[in-house]
Amino acid sequence: MNIAERFALTERPRRLRSSPAMRALVRETRVNLDGLVQPLFIVPGRDVKTPIGSMPGVSRYSVDAAVRECRELAAIGIRAVLLFGVPDDKDAVASGNYDPNGLVQSATRAIKAVLPQLLVIADLCNCEYTDHGHCGIIDERGDVDNDRTLDLLARTAITYAQAGVDIVAPSDMMDGRIGAIRRALDGDGFSGTTIMSYAAKYASAFYGPFREAADSAPAFGDRRTYQMDPANGREAAREVRLDVAEGADILMVKPALAYMDLIRQTREQIDLPVACYNVSGEYSMLKAAAEHGWIDEERAVDELLTGFTRAGADIIITYFAKEYLKRRS
């Protein structure tokens, strides 16, 4: 009598793993290809495409170059891009951010002129535009003035909507920002503009490469008085509830990799779409490992995006979006 007979082995899960076709047949989780969002960094000038050293495969683009890149993205099935402006000129009150002819506004108009079907999401923050690198107006104590910053965010959101942005995505973590932006948009006739809130955005070490990409490192201090403590999960649930009450349409968790439990928590907490941001450090460390031959990049990316989806993300913002969809086109 062999072992199988001795123990009456009737449960054989391996039957469903026997071939690629069988595994595909019974696969439980599939990445929403329509929900992948490619971030783009917009800079001044013409015909500019500048590689970002800490993020292999990612570049900064001038408006005209961004339009060309968006044509490529749309051709392989990307449905949405997330824009970050990286200006040359900065000041204490982020005036370049609410300039109707600013980088994000100009890029949006140019993209929409040739690709009206492509969704344009505009990250709404001030750190790229301030000379001090913080996400709002600095008060006399050297801290970010929450309520004065709300006025700045609302003013900027209106210029984004006027330019044709489909989704405004505030990432600053000021208290009350969703309500202030929603009221401003509705009051100016933009009730159809969607708000995707960075609802649970943590003060994370995984943002390192983004500081180079967006030229947004704080000149002093850090962002821990407004971004969340990585140890706190219940606080994330509170932030999500507040943003839903204030009028958010989509809720985001950022970063993604170390916060899959909070993606799941958010998914179970609300019925709205849930997004996650697979941030720069997560991207760069996987790229670095792959370049050294320590990891199979394609398999790792597949596993990563599947994990975010399994955790509950409907929308995944990732620098891997273009490469991932190219493999499937």
- Active-site positions read 201, 254
For the chain, give percent helix, strand, coil, nearest 5: 45, 15, 40
- The residue behind tokens 């003035």 is 145
Sign of the CA dihedral running 54, 69, 275, 170: positive
Sign of the CA dihedral running 180, 185, 186, 187: positive
Element (DSSP H or E) covering residue 236:
helix 234-246
CB atoms within 10 A of CB 290: 17
Asked if 80 contacts 119 with a C-beta cutoff of 8 angstroms, the reply is: yes
- Report the distance separating Cα 61 and Cα 51, nearest Å: 9
Q: Which amino acid is at 6?
A: R
- What tokens were used for 38? 């490619």
- What tokens were used for 239? 């932030």
- Report the distance separating Cα 173 and Cα 254, nearest Å: 11
